[in-house]
Each structure stands twice: as structure tokens, then as C-alpha cells.
């Protein structure tokens, strides 16, 4: 029987070091506030559209202004003022603004190290059938990032299965996390194919595609060769 290639151990260590540390920790701790502001800007536009369809123009405008003020408080690190606005939007806002405020609350909790609270909020949004699907999906991603070290590989795979498919807006992140879990579950061939698909997907950010390509190659998958199409059924 052939011996295990000496590069496999180094590869697995690289996966742990690069993906689990850089993606799971830096994303939350180092880039948390920057990511929050960018996320909030997108959420404001989306929440405004949702609420515009449900409520009077005047009330929607007032809540939009409150959300903008919340973003300003977060950027200026005015924690007390931000917390008050969050509570108001959660209690009185339409579905869009309520969920946006909850996402803000969860991200701020994670940023200050209160992982338990952040996980609880993200889990609640992910399970909220009244929340728009993009909110639920991003919450599931962030919940899983925070819980990753406490989950079994199969739990990660099962949880992210609906998102780790080509065409999904979160395919890149969900696919990469799923692939790492597959490697930990000794399913390297599946992980390689999934990473190659992420690397080929031009809607995925370039840095993620580059990392996925390198890891797929380490697993013996040629990213430059597309998988063969399944043969057509004959009548």
C-alpha cells in the first residue's frame, strides 16, 4: 500500500490555520466593524424597500432616518445611543428594519466578544419565517462561523447544504466552510470537487476563488478542467 504523501499533513494544517483562523476569527474580530458598516448600508436599502411595501411613506421615512442614525452611532462607537436605537427598531420597526437592527445587535455582540448572545440572535433570524431569505441566509452563515469549532463536520455540512450550491448568493463562503468540514470528515474527494466549483465561479470574490483553487489543487483536483457533463438519457 502506498504511503500517505508527506504534503497531506501540511495541507490539513494549512486548512486549519488559514480557513478556521483567518476566516472564522479575523472576519468577526478584526473586520467586524468594517463588515458591519458595509452590511448595514445594504440592509438599509433592502429594508427600506420591504417596509415601503407594507407601511405608510411617513412612518417608513422616519424609521429609515433612525436606521441611518444608528449607522452613524456605530461608526462613531457611540454604544449607548446605538443600543437604544436598536431596541426601538426591534420593538417598533417593520420586518425589514427589525431584522436589520437585530443583525446589527448580533454583529456588535460578536465584536465585543459576547459570542453566546450573537449566536442566539443569528439563530433566531435564521429560523424566522417572516424574515426575507437573504437575511436568514446571512444569519445562518454568521451563526455557523461563530459556532464552527463546537460543531461536528457533519453538522456543518448538513446546515450549509442549502447554501453550498452553485447559483446561491453565499455559495463561496458556504462552499468553502463545507469543504473544510468534508476534509475533516475524510471526504477529501468531495471537498476537492466543491472547492474547484467555488474557484470556477466568477461571482465569488477573487481572494476566495484563489484560496479555493489552491486548496482544490492540493487535493488533486484540476481547477482548469471543468467536470464532464452527465451523458444524456437515451430514449
User: Which positions ≥6 away from 233 have C-beta within 8 Å?
Assistant: none
Whole-number pLDDT of residue 17: 52
Whole-number pLDDT of residue 114: 93
* DSSP secondary structure, 41-106, as one string: HHHHHHHHHHHHTTS-HHHHHHHHHHHHHHHHHHHTT-HHHHHHHHHHHHHHS-HHHHHHHHHHHH
Say if CB 220 and CB 204 are below 8 A apart. Answer: no
Query: Pick from 166, 179, 174: which is nearest to 142 by CA?
Result: 174
Whole-number pLDDT of residue 95: 74
**What is the C-alpha to C-alpha distance for residues 2 and 13, in angstroms, rounded to an integer?**
21
**What is the C-alpha to C-alpha distance for residues 8 and 139, in angstroms, rounded to an integer?**
33
Name the one residue in this structure whose C-alpha cell is 417598533.
92
Whole-number pLDDT of residue 3: 40
pTM (2 d.p.): 0.69
Reading the chain (235 residues) residue by residue, the pLDDT tens digits are 444 444 445 545 555 555 554 544 444 444 445 455 555 555 555 555 555 555 555 556 666 676 777 777 677 777 788 788 888 888 877 777 888 889 888 988 888 899 999 999 999 999 999 888 988 999 999 999 999 989 999 999 999 999 999 999 999 999 999 999 999 999 999 999 999 999 999 999 999 999 999 999 999 998 885 665 544 454 4
- The sign of the torsion formed by the CA atoms of 214, 218, 222, 228 equals negative
Whole-number pLDDT of residue 7: 47
Say if CB 94 and CB 60 are below 8 A apart. Answer: yes
Residue 77 phi, psi (nearest 5): 60, 35
Amino acid at each position: 500500500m502506498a504511503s500517505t504523501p508527506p504534503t497531506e499533513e501540511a495541507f490539513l494544517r494549512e486548512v486549519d490555520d488559514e480557513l478556521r483562523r483567518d476566516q472564522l476569527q479575523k472576519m468577526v474580530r478584526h473586520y467586524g466593524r468594517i463588515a458591519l458598516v458595509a452590511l448595514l448600508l445594504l440592509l438599509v436599502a433592502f429594508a427600506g424597500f420591504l417596509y415601503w411595501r407594507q407601511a405608510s411613506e411617513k412612518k417608513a421615512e422616519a424609521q429609515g432616518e433612525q436606521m441611518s442614525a444608528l449607522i452613524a452611532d456605530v461608526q462613531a462607537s457611540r454604544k449607548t445611543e446605538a443600543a437604544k436605537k436598536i431596541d426601538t427598531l426591534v420593538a417598533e420597526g417593520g420586518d425589514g428594519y427589525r431584522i436589520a437592527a437585530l443583525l446589527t445587535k448580533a454583529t456588535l455582540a460578536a465584536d465585543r466578544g459576547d459570542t453566546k448572545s450573537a449566536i442566539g440572535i443569528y439563530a433566531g433570524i435564521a429560523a424566522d419565517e417572516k424574515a426575507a431569505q437573504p437575511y436568514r441566509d446571512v444569519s445562518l452563515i454568521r451563526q455557523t462561523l461563530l459556532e464552527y469549532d463546537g460543531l461536528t463536520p457533519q453538522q456543518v455540512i448538513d446546515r450549509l447544504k442549502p447554501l453550498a450550491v452553485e447559483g446561491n448568493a453565499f455559495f463561496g463562503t458556504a462552499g468553502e466552510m463545507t469543504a473544510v468540514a468534508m476534509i475533516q470528515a475524510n471526504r477529501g474527494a468531495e471537498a476537492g470537487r466543491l472547492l474547484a466549483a467555488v474557484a470556477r465561479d466568477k461571482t465569488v470574490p477573487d481572494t476566495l476563488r484563489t484560496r479555493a483553487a489552491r486548496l482544490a489543487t492540493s487535493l488533486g483536483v484540476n481547477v482548469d478542467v471543468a467536470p464532464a457533463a452527465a451523458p444524456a438519457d437515451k430514449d
